[in-house]
Amino acid sequence: MTPAPPAALYSDVIRERWRRPRFRGELPDATAVAEDVNPLCGDRVRMMLRVEDGQVAAARFAGDSCAICTASADVVAETVEGKTAAEATKLTTEDVLTILQTDVRPTRLRCVALPLTVLQQALQP
């Protein structure tokens, strides 16, 4: 029995962001940094933000994570750039899923949520 080739598991946006994340990298002049892990799998994400006058001037992420988590981190970094810190903390898992053009199973929701949790930790006053 030959297995059927796997259909695309993840949305095009997730696959594209996983292959070529635009916001992965270091931010040496970051003013707000946080890092956390997903206790389910040990994935680790660090968010680095440069906040100037209450505005997120730049955002980058680093870490070792699965495709969904990496894509989420990339989207989170892109979305918060240019926003005020207050606006940035309002970003939700639903928003990220919409941008990723996907729905995930409950077991993978934490992969989407981890970068948001880390973002909120970084922006905690």
Q: Which residues bind another protein (CB under 8 A)?
A: 1-10, 15, 18, 40-44, 64-68, 70, 108, 111
Nearer to another protein, 41 or 57 (CB): 41
Taking the complex as a whole, the smallest distance from the CB of residue 92 to another protein amounts, in Å, to: 22
| Nearest CA among 45, 49, 90 for reference residue 70 | 45
Q: Which is nearer to another protein, 1 or 28 (CB)?
A: 1
Cβ of residue 120: shortest distance to another protein, in angstroms? 22
Contact 35, 13 (CB under 8 A): no
Burial of 60 (0-12, 13-18, 19+ CB in 10 A): buried
